[in-house]
Amino acid sequence: MFVERAYVRPENLTADWPFTVPAVRQLALEGIEFDTPVTILVGDNGSGKSTIVEAVAEGFQLDSRGGRASRPPRSETISTLLGEAIELETTPRGARMLRGPRLQKKGFFLRAETAFEMTENLGGVPGYWEEDTASMSHGEGFLAVFRAMFQDPGFYVLDEPESALSFTACLHLVALMDELAESGSQVVCATHSPILASLPGADIIEVGDHGLRRTTWDRLEIVAHWRRYLDDPGSYLRHLLD
């Protein structure tokens, strides 16, 4: 483990967005504890899950645009208001990594908005991946990135990594996250995917209008919706289609 808790100092809490989002406000008032090697935030669009994981990545000095440890100081790479305000309580191991030289920092932030651009531009660049991911499908490119960048024990933050992945590829990512946890890594993932959320042993936090609440996979709203939809698509589509 590298990070034990994320929180916001009271003097940095404002009445402006994103602190108006229930989940972000709860983080600011109460903090989030990280108790297991893999923490998965599950929620709908606009729930605040991506805002939170992006800020956690920034707090650990990962490139806020998506990527590895930032080259410039953190003060020059912050891109979000929550990222400016967030504080991380690290383990001794995490503190040593943050104090060490950039090249010894092991971690990666996969950001949904920039992930496709990364797969097209960083293939063959020293320190990244050898494959020409620009010539691959999005799903193949993502898996190549995962295999190359998620090798060493480190701190890995994923924002909706399932966006380009098929069912089978999602299963491969579940297996990879499990391998990372076993190797001593820590993963924080925001997702819509009930497949990624099914990783055994993961700490699941459901994000929504209620704020943040720990739950189990079988009690997730998204799991219940998918079960009902796959059993009877018409029960949903009749409200949308004429």
Is the per-residue pLDDT at 238 higher than 80? Answer: yes
Q: Where along the chain do its domains lie?
A: 3-237
pLDDT tens per residue, range 192-228: 999 999 999 999 999 999 999 999 999 999 999 999 9
Is the per-residue pLDDT at 50 higher than 90? Answer: yes
Angle at 122 between CA 96 and CA 134, to 5 degrees: 145
Supply the mean pLDDT for the chain.
87
41 DSSP assignment:
E
Is the per-residue pLDDT at 126 higher than 80? Answer: no
pLDDT value for 63: 82
Query: How far apart (Å, rounded) are the C-alpha atoms in residues 168 and 158?
Result: 18
What secondary structure does DSSP assign to 46-114, as a single string?
A: TSSHHHHHHHHHHHTTB-TTSBSB-SS-GGGT--SHHHHHEEEEEPHHHHHHHHS-GGG--EEEE-HHH
Cβ atoms < 10 Å from Cβ of 187: 22
Range among 9-13, 95-99, 136-140, 210-214 with highest mean pLDDT value: 210-214
pLDDT value for 232: 94
Q: At a CB cut-off of 8 Å and minimum separation 6, what does 181 contact?
A: 36, 37, 38, 187, 201
The mean pLDDT of 132-141, rounded to a whole number, is 70
Locate 27 and state its tokens.
């983080």
Q: Is 37 helix (H, G, I), strand (E, B) or coil?
A: coil
Sorting pLDDT into bands at 50, 70 and 90, what band is 143? confident
pLDDT value for 130: 64
Is the per-residue pLDDT at 138 higher than 60? Answer: yes
The mean pLDDT of 40-47, rounded to a whole number, is 95
pTM as predicted: 0.90
Sorting pLDDT into bands at 50, 70 and 90, what band is 141? confident
Please state which CATH number belongs to domain 3-237: 3.40.50
Higher pLDDT, 78 or 170: 170
The mean pLDDT of 126-146, rounded to a whole number, is 70
pLDDT tens per residue, range 86-104: 999 999 999 999 888 877 7
